[in-house]
Amino acid sequence: MKDSELKRDSSIPERVTLKKEIGLLSACAIIIGNIIGSGIFISPKGVLEHSGSVGLALVVWVLGGGIAALGSLCYAELGVTIPKSGGDYSYVTEIFGGLMGFLLLWSAVLIMYPTTLAVIALTFSNYVLQPVFPHCIPPYIATRMLSTICILFLTWVNCYSVRLATRIQDAFTVGKLLALGLIITVGLVQIFGGNYESLTPQVAFTFNKAPSIGQIALAFLHASFAFSGWNFLNYVTEEVVDPRRNLPRAIYISIPLVTFVYTLTNIAYFSSMSPDELLSSNAVAVTFGEKLLGMFSTLMPISVALSTFGGINGYLFTSSRLCFSGAREGHLPSLLAMIHFKHCTPIPALLVCCTATIVILCIGETHNLINYVSFINYLSYGVTIAGLLYYRWKKPNLYRPIKVSLLVPVCYLLFWALLLGFSLHSEPLVCGVGLVIMLTGVPVYFLGVYWKNKPKCIYDFIVGRMRKMMKMMGDRLCFDGKAVLAPMVRVGTLPMRLLALDCGADIVYCEELIDIKMAQCERVVNDVLETVDFVAPDERVMFRTCSKEKSRVVFQMGTADPERALAVAKLVENDVAAVDVNMGCPKEYSTKGGMGSALLSDPEKIEAILRTLVNGISKPVTCKIRILPTLEDTVNLVRRIEQTGVAAIAVHGRMKEERPRHPVHCDYIQAVAESVSIPVIANGGSSDIVKSFEDIETFRAATGASSVMIARAAMWNPSVFRQQGALSVERVMEDYIKYAVRYDNNPFNTKYCLCQMLRDRVESPFGKRLHAAQTTEEICEVFGLTDFYMKTSAELKARKAALQTNGDQSEIPKVEDDVIIMPVRFERRDYPPQITPKMFLLEWSRKEKLDQPVYETEQRTQDRAFQSTVTVADKKYRSTLWEKSKKFAEQAAAIVCLRTLGLPEGRIGEDNSGLVNKRKRDDNKCAPLNDNESAARKRHISEVPQEEEEEIICRTKVVTGDCGQTTSEH
């Protein structure tokens, strides 16, 4: 396929990063939108109750804003010094290490976010139910049930669609602004009307009881709950445009504005409600509306409900994102880092947040919940800001775009220590419970994060159960109860995989592809074939796939390097259902370089490769092994593999020294299946057991495996997967050819697979006709499918022509360093047998009485590809594309020369130039092979890798001995 036929998928970046799309206005909106939530509608009661007077309560609100401003300035310095998303968690992890970061994450996941969500949900329920129960407090069960329904619904929304969740957030923000705007406006009207008795100094600072310092500290904790969210912009630092400027600016604008709005809102409350009325109200804003809005009082609970509903949605989104980030860093189970492949939402993280919130809803009272979350919030803020001072001492020379005065963090920490100390003194039980819950993260950290090689019983409990949850979520490829097409070199290409799926296979593996070669490939969207191709530098398609198999194809690679394996996995991740590492092939082409079964002797490398893949991609990771000499060694290896987090393991029931003639060891596979909790796929039964569809279940039962992988039996007849019974080989071969034509499969690969299906009939007259075919058209002719070939080829050509609206500019010759170049590739199938471009160029040179063409060839070291330059009449011609063999490189150079000169090159369908009519094609070099020679050659070709087969055929069929002089450069 030429370059003009392909559309490069430029939308796929080399490295996926967060986009910087948050400007100053959006940054301010994030801070203001997250601060203003349910707190201003419920915290006034707690602040007034603990402060003891209206005046002191207003002072607490103003000072609360000031403390938030001090903390924000410290976070501004941290945000631009450590420019990572994740806020407190990222900063503490960077400064103090994994344990401190984990404890902060642990407390956030278990306490801060679920409690905040629970409080907002209860506020929503109270305001919705207040009009239904106007003269009493809404029933406990009713508020909890409505809160739970709200949490469940919004969790579903966030699981289903990010766009829908953000639209809900935008819509319900209007309700938030409407509620506060209405309260402030009505309150100012009251004040201007002279109703401000509670705000006069004489009344405002009249205390019902003298407040203690501890009670004032609790008042600040309630106010801090309303201000919580001032650090949320630091969670998305990587997405802020020019964070060194916009992060501090957003803080300078937002915090004073919120403080001003909160103070005015409280003044509005006190303009129409006495302190006793406010303290007796379970929904302050509703009571305010009932007193002043009359028949329009229902607007207030509706507006507040809208505000809190949007707040729940926003906190769910943020909390699940923190869980997701923690899981990616390895501080939470990797299950929480998984994303639904269709909806692109972190469903496991959302479900964990939802569950934790519902649990807290059932065990806590609102004001105690606020004390829990406020205490933990302040504790985390203080640890983070203490980290700023430690970081100044630890790295004094580190460049800091923003560097606040030391008085700012010191003042904040002094206030922080005073506040937490008196909170512990006044409410030791509430604060103590929060502290104990936070410290429970210490053993969890050492058990789940620090301790790598856990006993199997612990691993089964922590990880095995989570995998079962993963299976329940659907859409990720499941390996239980499946019939699987095995990875087979030269067989597992796209036509065979699609045919196996048609016949009933549940999962198909591609042939093993070496990571070094795949790492050099480029992902190309082929609009002509409607495929995704991974194209090597020499323009060979290393891996081709299509949408029909996307959810069921497993990409198998040969690798011995974790980082290179991850690079290849990321390259193909979005086009396959899973990634597999081959550790079972004993052939030299796989074991060289420590790949294939050579990995079985290096368990540490196995673990490194698999852990890197599991942690690095979102798709399931599997591996395929052979059994070891002893059962004990095999089981121990599989247990180590299981702990890497793989989704399944395929076990070939033979040792690496054994071949298909040796019996399969079902007992080994059974022992493996009994020793691990992940699915085990049994492989190796084609020769002994699997001859039909019913035998697949027989093999599965004999091994106790979860699934069965079929290799040779499927290669001979893919309809072995067919539940209704196998089809005739002739019918299967015709279906295979149709896929090969439709997806432009290499004719030599097509012929090889067809010969495997023919088996012992390959020496029959029909088999010899097939083996003599050199192009896809000739193969179709053998099977009587010429009409299908012509029709499909015409459709593909028409589609190609429709796509090439701008014309093909790729084959216009260019001059580079006195060499005429063109991106040309030699396709053997495009030329008749015994005819090559080199022959045409040689004939033309003789006719024009020129010297014979001289070819200079060089070989590239990294992939051993070839490039040739031909000199004709003192001019040099070269193809820019590298070929897989020296012969093909010379042919490509000859094509460039012929096309530049406007001469025929001998392609099929090209007008006959008569240049080669004089040549004796019945020369002994090109004579048909006798039966013995043909059979010998077939056996030889079947034993070599695919790339060598085409070169062998080229050597035996193409006259090259007198087609020009050749020199080589290695």
Name the residues annotated as catalytic.
585
Q: Tell me the CA distances in angstroms from 297 to 122, 280, 300, 666, 898, one per residue in order.
A: 20, 18, 6, 76, 88
Q: CB within 8 A of 347, min separation 6: which ones?
A: 159, 338, 339, 340, 473
Alpha helices by DSSP H, listed for 161-283, are 162-192, 201-204, 213-227, 243-272, 275-280
Task: Calculate the CA 42 to chain-centre distance.
Answer: 41
How long is the chain? 970
CA gap 234, 91 in Å, rounded: 10
Beta bridge partners of 910: none
Beta bridge partners of 854: 871, 965
Q: Are 260 and 414 in contact (CB under 8 A)?
A: no
Cβ neighbourhood burial of 922 (10 Å; 0-12, 13-18, 19+): exposed
The overall longest dimension of the chain from CA atoms, in Å, is: 121
Residue 309 DSSP SS3: helix
CB atoms within 10 A of CB 257: 16
Q: Give the closest residue to 58 by CA, choosing from 223, 243, 192, 173.
A: 223
Single-letter residue type at 819: V
CA gap 54, 206 in Å, rounded: 8
**HSE-CB of 147 using CA atoms within 13 angstroms:** 30
Residue with tokens 């909806």, as numbered in its chain: 343
**HSE-CB of 363 using CA atoms within 13 angstroms:** 11
Residue with tokens 């002719």, as numbered in its chain: 781
CA gap 790, 777 in Å, rounded: 8
CA gap 165, 656 in Å, rounded: 53
Residue 531 DSSP SS3: strand
CB atoms within 10 A of CB 810: 13
Distance between start and end Cα atoms, the chain: 28
The token duo for 11 is 């939308």
Alpha helices by DSSP H, listed for 281-403, are 284-292, 299-328, 347-363, 366-394
CA gap 846, 854 in Å, rounded: 13
Q: Tell me the CA distances in angstroms from 733 to 46, 749, 781, 792, one per residue in order.
A: 79, 13, 13, 17
Strand (E) or helix (H) holding 886: helix 886-901
Q: Tell me the CA distances in angstroms from 594 to 445, 518, 589, 590, one per residue in order.
A: 35, 17, 10, 8
Cβ neighbourhood burial of 932 (10 Å; 0-12, 13-18, 19+): exposed
Task: Calculate the CA 487 to chain-centre distance.
Answer: 24
Write 885-890 long-range contacts (CB < 8 A, 24+).
885/947, 885/950, 885/951, 885/954, 886/857, 886/859, 886/968, 887/951, 887/954, 887/955, 887/958, 887/960, 888/826, 888/828, 888/950, 888/951, 888/954, 889/826, 889/857, 890/838, 890/855, 890/857, 890/964, 890/966
CA gap 706, 577 in Å, rounded: 18
**HSE-CB of 223 using CA atoms within 13 angstroms:** 30
Q: Are 393 and 101 in contact (CB under 8 A)?
A: no
